Structure 1
Amino acid sequence: MTTNPALARSLAERDYTNATPVQLAVLAPEAATRDLLVSAQTGSGKTVAYGLAMAETLLGTEERFAPATVPQALVVAPTRELALQVQREFAWLYGATGARIISCVGGMDPRMEQRLLNQGAHIVVGTPGRLRDHLERGSLDISALRVVVLDEADEMLNLGFREDLEFILDATPPERRSLLFSATMPRGIVTLAKRYQHDALRIEVASGQGGHADIEYRAIRVAPTEIDHVVVNVLRYYDTPGALVFCNTREAVGRLLAMLQERQFSAVALSGELSQRDRNHALQALRDGRAKVCVATDVAARGIDLPNLGLVIHADLPNDVESLQHRSGRTGRAGRKGVSVLLVPPFRRRRIDDTLRGLSIKPVWSGPPTSEDIRKLDHERMLGDAAITDEPSEEDASAGLALLAAHAPEHLAAALVRLYRAGLPAPEEVTDPGEERIARTQRDRAAERDLGGGGFDVGGTWFRLNVGRRNNADPKWLLPMICRRGNLTRKDIGVIRILDEETHFEVAPVAVARFSKALRKADRGDPIIEPLPGGRPAGDAERPRGKPHQGKPPYEKPFHGKKFHKEPGQGKSADGKAKGGKAAFEKPREGKPLGPGKGERPSKGERPDAGKSGPKGKRSRRP
């Protein structure tokens, strides 16, 4: 790899002996001085790649910059964390060149940034909004710019920065060199490249050329009610110096963080509700080793570069391919090995298979790590612990002899084991739904035979939920929530009645034991589910035992996920029009319709099983 002599020495000091594919591609002879459109995933070494490519234009063969005046290079990144990471990478890469590198990012003092810019800069790194703000105020002069870099351009478009990017690029000199890096190439990126690049060389290294070659993908079957417990066991099983756990909402981040801290994990959180000061404290705790686990949402984790990050856990599965790539790309960076673990409930198995197949990823499928697996690893790690394998000091050896004089060796060994285990979070008892499903099917079939072939038609067990019409109870999220909490399927749920203050629902006889066991694992903040006092709703007649009914009045028709039962007599009126109108869950005849108003449905995040009820404000996607 040929590059500027000063940068070559910086690389050698950092033991950069083997260039990554993207670094080789941008330094190839055909790429010299040209605009570049590069498809490169997070963790492929792209920051160093465009740092080297910029040096060809800014320095040539010269080893040092002239005194700083107006910026010669501009790097635009989607988040403040990524921008500050780029600044840190450039600080050592350009350390021998005398480069003055200034960052301009949201959350920092703009007046301080303005004073630094007035003192002169060779390279400016910033986020779109803050860079535009400095341009509009006249504190940033890019009239002499020679290189502009857009890092993670697809993410900047996803976050709504198109207008800011166009404003910045329109202000750059037309003869400047343009380097555009993006993990994916959606239509918006292609349009941006055609408008602002000239005869760009297309470089694609995101797939098949080592983009995520250092990442091992594991897919773990989990019961929907045991996801948090499986997270605990996966963290204990791999025991990496740094781990990143992804959730889809900030409520889920807060719940999982509280659970991990309660179980003695040194964990911090990153979500959109944190102030910049809190984010900085969390990141610093991860960098200096005071915290080993970070629980985060996708947007909050953009651009962060954590040292020794060996494990990524998808506690909530990603919503699209791009999110999976960006999440997993936080590990397996710059030649280091990493593991990306997806926790897959049974109903998501097919979708995850299709997603991974589309990325040519072949994961290792398994059940969750068991407590026995973890205890066995704990034993092996203890035997290899430095406290045992290292030669003791003279003082330690003397203390050891004193202990041997007072206690038997077996007693001291047992005490050592006890002390070692005391500092470790206890593993959780979890099940493999792959094996559980086979046993469950056999139990359910046997129960159906005992009940005469229509187990649910002979009447189920009633439960109540402390959420009703006044909490925006709605069938669209009630049914999935009950299934998730109780490890059930839709066919296990019968009649659901939504009242003002609570909801009553029926569970099939073959599923009652499984449902009751799952309820005992409820987390704080979950809606309360308990058996209905009296066994059945008031005034509700017991179904006759014997031959299963055929769904005709006067008996209730069980709910199987698609249709809802009708009340006896709910047929046609005298004028021939149907009574009852739209199908709906059974509810009291008095009162108003379900939902917060006419036809309204709760927005995302309003579900009581997320810890809150009632409407919530929209979330901003801007960092």
Structure 2
Amino acid sequence: MTTNPALARALADRDYNDPTPVQGAVLAPEASGRDLLVSAQTGSGKTVAYGLAMAETLLGAEESFGPAAAPQALVVAPTRELALQVQREFAWLYAATGARIVSCVGGMDPRQEQRALTRGAHIVVGTPGRLRDHLERGRLDISAVRVVVLDEADEMLDLGFREDLQFILDATPPERRSLLFSATLPRGITALAKRYQRDALRIEVASAEGGHADIEYRAIRVVPKEIEHAVVNLLRYYDAPGAIVFCNTRETVRHLHATLQERQFSAVALSGELGQNERNAALQSLRDGRARVCVATDVAARGIDLPSLSLVIHADLPNDAESLQHRSGRTGRAGRKGVSVLLVPPFRRRRTEDMLRALGLTPAWSGPPTADEIRKLDHERMLRDPLLTEEPSDDDAAVARTLLAEHPAEHLVAALVRLYRAGLPAPEEVADPGEPRGARDRAAGRSTGGAIGGAWFRLNIGRRHKADPRWLLPLICRRGNVTRDDIGAIRIFDEETAFEVSAAALEGFSAALRKPDGSNEVIEPLPGGPPGSRPEHPGRAKAPRWKQGQDKPARSKSFRDKPAYGGSGQEPPRDPKPPGRGAPKGAPGRSRPNKPEGKPTGKRQQRP
């Protein structure tokens, strides 16, 4: 691999000793001087790769640029964050060459960008809309451009920048070199390459394994109403120096950001409703360590490279596999390890599994970290804290002796523990919705068919009462004075729930039910053994349908029916008023009275 000496020194200063696969591919002899169509996953070192490839054309054997005039290179990126990230990467990569790098992005002052372009530039980095605006206004001269780079080209097409890209590329010199980088190569990208590239070398280093090799994926089962609590516990559990929590809407970002700040997290927000200066300030606070958590929409899914970022949490599930890939790609970059955690409500599990399967991923499923697990980790971290492991200074030792003279050692240690915990956000109590019923039954050695040699009971709570096994099972165990292992299959119907009790616990369960406890929940034996099919209510025969023209049989009273006329066997009083329209002919008690003679049919009869 041949690298310009000035750039080689910059790489050495940053400890770039081994090139990534994409960097080695663009500097291979067969790629020298050619147009390139590169497919590489996010986080694979693409920015440095095309920065090195550009240097071959811009500098050759020279180690520095001449005076800045019309730009010689143009880099187009889909988002402001990515464009500014490229500018920062080029700043250190080309530092020794004297390169003048100017950014042109939406949200920044265009007049300030115009003044920078007037002073001259070697490399211009920008977003499609702002670059086209400068071109149309005559502020940007790209007649001397020798290299054009399209970064994240697939994203630019998805965002609707096709016309802007074509306008920019049509304005560049035809002999310029084109480097097109994309995570995927859909039909639109290949059509763009065919039109604007000449004999392009196709380099494909993207693979499912390569794109995720340094990222550990976890899927966390959560109750929908406890997603915020799960985020709090995950941040406390991993205690990452940098983390991003992704949400799907700006409103969710605002709410979750406020929630984390209330719980003592140093958090910033990042969404499209913020101005560019606010977004830059948020990212800078993450880079310098003043903030450790960023709550963001997908605007942060591309172009953000934070060395300390080791945790990505998907508070809202991404819309598709590609979004998941780009979100997760904010961590595990350039050989660094990272964790990507998806919070999955029960009704989204199948969709999540399909999305992960499309990426060739098999995550570890579990419930959210519990408060007890976090407190245990806090204890271990406290023992490793430098405040305890480092040798105290003479001043600290003198203060310690004074305190020991005034207070018992145990009292002082307890105060130290309180101070340590006071600086930590409190963990939340969260529930695990659990795995599917069949998996739990097999894990407990139960028969998924519903027979464990016991008896069936019914509980007067069903789907219409929002029955949920998470709280039904503890209720049954508490009422029957049994454990979870004594309960077999649970079947929830509209009006009631049927469940099975093992033969070993049956006697004690029945005895506990005979003791009144004053609750409204009624548990009683279910006659006839286990219920039949799930849609049909257990123990209830289907009533025959009443056909038109037949008398409808009287409905038997149940506990829901109220006595209408003071008890059974009483004759209901006759209604002196004629019934309304729609009564079937011949129905009892609904015959129409004869019209009085001599009275107009359209007028009411006066009461005597």
Instruction: Give the aligned residue type for 1:139.
Output: R
Match of 1:197 in 2: 197
Task: Find the counterpart in structure 1 of residue 159 from structure 2.
Answer: 159
| Distance in structure 2 (CA, Å) of the matches to 1:164 and 1:58 | 25
**Matched residue SS, 1:299:** helix
Report the CA distance shift for 1:145/1:486 in structure 2 as closer, same or farther (over 3 A): farther
Match of 2:37 in 1: 37
Amino acid at match of 2:288: D
Q: Give the deviation of 1:57 after TM superposition.
A: 0.7
Q: Which residue of 2 aligns with 1:589?
A: none
Q: Note closer, same or farther for the CA distance 1:460–1:209 as it changes in structure 2 (3 Å cut).
A: closer
Residue 254 of structure 2 aligns with which residue?
Answer: 254
What secondary structure, in the 3-state scheme, does the structure 1 residue paired with 2:75 have? strand
**Could you tell me which residue of structure 2 aligns to residue 290 of structure 1?**
290
Structure 1 position 546, deviation (Å): 8.2
Which digits, 9 at most, give the CA deviation of each residue in 1:374-421, with x for residues without a partner? 111111111111111112121111111111111111111111111111
The 1-side partners of 2:260 and 2:236 are apart by 11
Which residue pairs with 2:390 in the alignment?
390
Counterparts of 2:269 and 2:11, CA distance in 1:
33
- Cα offset, 1:50, TM superposition: 0.3
Give the match's secondary structure for 1:340.
strand
Aligned residue in 1 for 2:503: none
Match of 2:519 in 1: none
Q: How many residues align?
A: 487
Aligned to 2:315: 315
Contact 1:227/1:315, CA 8 A, preserved across alignment: yes
* Alignment-derived partner of residue 17 in structure 1: 17
Matched with 1:414 is 414
8 Å CA contact 1:184–1:322 kept in 2: the answer is no
User: Please, which moves more after superposition, 225-234 or 70-79?
Assistant: 225-234
1-structure distance, mates of 2:43, 2:339: 13
> 1:243-301, CA deviations, whole angstroms, 9 ceiling, x for partnerless residues?
00111111221222222122111111112222223323322222222211111111354
Aligned-partner SS, 1:433: coil
Flag the 1:545–1:163 CA change in 2: closer, same or farther, 3 A.
Answer: closer
Long gaps (5+) in structure 2: 473-492, 499-536, 547-551, 556-581, 586-608
Aligned amino acid, residue 314 of structure 2? H
For 1:432 and 1:80, the matched residues in 2 are separated by 39
In the alignment, does 2:119 pair up with 1:131? Answer: no
Alignment of 1:580-591 (within 5 A): none
Separation in structure 1 between the aligned mates of residue 209 and residue 344 of structure 2, nearest angstrom? 28
Q: Contact between 1:44 and 1:212, CA under 8 Å: does it hold in 2?
A: no
Do residues 60 (structure 1) and 50 (structure 2) align?
no
Letter of the structure 2 residue corresponding to residue 219 of structure 1: A
> Structure 1 194/550 Cα, relative in aligned 2: closer, same or farther at 3 Å?
farther
Q: Secondary structure at the match of 2:283?
A: helix
1:72-471 paired onto structure 2 within 5 Å: 72-207=72-207, 210-434=210-434, 437=437, 449-451=456-458, 456=462, 460-461=464-465
Could you tell me how far apart the structure 2 residues matched to 1:550 and 1:219 are?
A: 46
Q: Distance in 2 between matches of 1:352 and 1:65?
A: 50
In structure 2, do the counterparts of structure 1 residues 391 and 128 end up closer, same or farther at CA, with 3 Å as the change threshold?
same
Instruction: Describe the SS at the equivalent of 2:431.
Output: coil
CA offset at residue 312 of structure 1?
A: 0.3
Preserved CA contact (<8 Å) 1:22 1:45: yes
Closer/same/farther in 2, CA of residues 149 and 228 from structure 1, 3 Å limit: same
Q: Which runs of 5+ in 1 are unaligned?
A: 464-481, 488-505, 512-543, 556-570, 575-623
In the TM superposition, what are the counterparts of 1:561-576 in structure 2 within 5 Å? Answer: none
For residues 238 and 546 of structure 1, the distance between their equivalents in structure 2, rounded to whole angstroms, comes to: 51
Per mean C-alpha deviation after superposition, the further-off stretch among 9-18 and 274-283 is 274-283
SS in 1 for 2:434: helix
The Cα shift of 1:440 comes to: 9.9
Q: Report the alpha carbon displacement of residue 345 of structure 1 after superposing the two structures with TM.
A: 2.0
Report what 1:516 is aligned to. none
CA contact (8 A) 2:458 2:497 kept: no
Q: Which amino acid aligns with 1:188?
A: G
CA distance in 1, matches of 2:361, 2:202: 24
1:463-512: CA deviation from partner (whole Å, max 9, x where unpaired):
9xxxxxxxxxxxxxxxxxx99x999xxxxxxxxxxxxxxxxxx975549x
Instruction: Rate the CA distance shift 1:219–1:171 in 2: closer, same or farther, 3 A.
Output: same
2:299 alignment partner, SS class: coil
Distance apart, 1:118 and its partner CA: 1.2
1:353 CA drift (Å):
2.3
CA RMSD of aligned residues (A): 3.3
SS at match of 2:365: strand
* Cα 1:4–1:409 shift into 2, 3 Å: same
Return closer, same or farther for 1:460/1:84 CA change in 2, 3 Å cut-off: closer
Say if 2:37 is the partner of 1:47: no
Q: Name the amino acid aligned to 2:42.
A: T
- The verdict on how the C-alpha distance between 1:290 and 1:195 changes in structure 2, with shifts beyond 3 A counting, is same
Could you tell me which amino acid in structure 1 is paired with residue 331 of structure 2? T
Q: Is the 8 A contact 2:104 2:124 kept in 1?
A: yes
TM-score (norm 1): 0.72
Question: In the alignment, is the contact (CA less than 8 A) between 2:11 and 2:93 conserved in 1?
Answer: yes
- Is the deviation greater in 362-371 or in 73-82? 362-371
Identical positions, percent: 76
C-alpha contact 2:301 2:323 (8 A) present in aligned 1: no
The residue that corresponds to 1:581 in the other structure is none
Q: Determine which structure has more spread, i.e. the larger CA radius of gyration.
A: 2
| Code of the aligned partner of 1:165 | L
Name the CA distance, whole Å, in 2 between partners of 1:440 and 1:315.
26
CA deviation vs aligned residue, 1:6-28 (integer Å, no higher than 9, x gap): 00001111111111111011111
Secondary structure (helix, strand or coil) at the match of 1:211 reads: helix
Distance in 2, matches of 1:430 and 1:161, equals: 44
Taking structure 1 as reference, are residues 508 and 301 closer, same or farther at Cα in structure 2, changes over 3 Å only?
Answer: farther
Q: For the structure 1 residues 508 and 252, does the alpha-carbon distance in structure 2 shift closer, same or farther, using more than 3 Å as the test?
A: farther
Equivalence for 2:568 = none
Q: Secondary structure at the match of 2:148?
A: strand
2:162, 2:307 → 1: CA distance?
A: 31
Q: How big is the shift at 1:547? A: 3.8
Distance 1:293 1:225, change over 3 A: same
Larger mean Cα displacement after TM superposition, 233-242 or 391-400: 391-400
Partner SS, residue 274 of structure 2:
coil
TM-score by length of 2: 0.74
Evaluate the alpha carbon distance shift between residue 397 and residue 247 of structure 1 in structure 2; reply closer, same or farther with a 3 A threshold.
same
Q: How far off its partner does 1:93 sit?
A: 0.3
Measured in 2, the distance between the counterparts of 1:305 and 1:348 equals 30
Deviation at 1:436, TM superposition (A): 8.5
